[in-house]
A = this chain, B = another copy of it.
């Protein structure tokens, strides 16, 4: 766990917002029509719809998602021409735990 990287991610409000939206993808994003059956319901959302919702450029969103992935706050899966990201609850839980106990 790279706490530094995690806190850097969290020090930007748009990134925190994305993390929040991904908590309830169904309520914040349209259905992922191209996602195969066996991956649905796992919280995966493709880059494009995140991009549209944020209002910032595609390149910046892509960069953000990559930062969040490197901090292991998100994981991703490429399927066809889409890259789907979802929350990594494990890391989020551990971060809260770290603050509660080790800070």
Contacts and interface: CB of A to CB of B under 8 A. Distances in A.
A33 interface: no
Nearest to A15: B7
Nearest to A19: B103
A28 interface: no
A11 interface: yes
Interface residues of A, number: 20
Interface in A1-27: 3-4, 7-8, 10-13, 16, 19-20, 23
A79 B87 CA distance: 47
Interface of A: 3-4, 7-8, 10-13, 16, 19-20, 23, 92-93, 95-96, 99-100, 102-103
